[in-house]
Homo-oligomer: A and B are copies of this chain.
Amino acid sequence: MSPVSSSRAERKGARQRGISDATVARLPAYHRALTGFLDRGVTTVSSEELATAAGVNSAKLRKDLSQLGSYGTRGVGYDVDYLIYQIARELGLTQDWPVVIVGIGNLGHALANYGGFASRGFRIAALVDANPGLAGETVNGLEVQPIGALERIVADDGVCIGVVATPAAAAQGVCDRLVAAGVTSVLNFAPVPLQVPPGVDVRKVDLASELQILAFHEQRKQTATPQPKGLAG
């Protein structure tokens, strides 16, 4: 799939231990499902159980996991602890990833307060906003910093992942500054395609697009189902 990656460091065929993009995109779901089993005290799962919990086909799950290595036991299944560790290692969750969020509007606030990041190795290093009126405000224990501090923050904390939650008009400029400062991965919530140099990854999350895609299917359902009553011609 890779619906958003606009630029990649490695060429397709030259990936060191080829894990396909589609598989990588599903690993977080497997990891999350596995932690669910762990919390319930389950020590072993079959591909069928794990696939159901993750919402995928069991054959696809096995093929995905086989790309990481042969971590299962035939006739038994997968050891929950061990598989969690392997996926976490593959995803880099065993490292500490400092993240800077730029644009502390409604969405930036929500992201700053979102607990799902911290629990997976992502540490919010700083919040940055261009509006000087926001500078000094504290969100989730972090003080909002002026945009001028961006370069210093990235350098001092070794930030390599940036989150762009600015209005569309400001997104490309912020992205350029992030990249210039040394960020090599960008998560973009602004509804514009960001231009980045080779070697920098961009993933895009577009809330309005998601609703529009749902609306498309919804419309199809409505026009395709005029059967509730008469008027059948």
In the complex, whether A24 has a CB less than 8 A from a CB of chain B is: yes
In the complex, whether A86 has a CB less than 8 A from a CB of chain B is: no
Which among A3, A16, A90, A225 has the highest number of chain B CB atoms within 10 Å? A3
Residue of B whose beta carbon sits closest to that of A195: B55
In the complex, whether A25 has a CB less than 8 A from a CB of chain B is: yes
Kindly list chain B residues whose C-beta atoms are within 8 Å of the C-beta of A206. 28-29
Interface size on A, residues (CB 8 A): 71
In the complex, whether A184 has a CB less than 8 A from a CB of chain B is: yes
In the complex, whether A42 has a CB less than 8 A from a CB of chain B is: no
Q: How far is the CB of A217 from chain B (nearest CB, A)?
A: 5
Contact B161 A9 (CB under 8 A): no
Q: How far is the CB of A209 from chain B (nearest CB, A)?
A: 4
Query: Quick one: CB contact mask for A85-96 with B, threshold 8 Å, 1 for yes?
Result: 000001111010
Q: How far is the CA of A173 from the CA of B105 in the complex (A)?
A: 30
A-B residue pairs in contact (CB < 8 Å), sample of 13: A6-B55, A29-B193, A55-B193, A91-B215, A91-B219, A92-B215, A92-B218, A99-B211, A109-B109, A116-B208, A121-B215, A161-B218, A185-B215
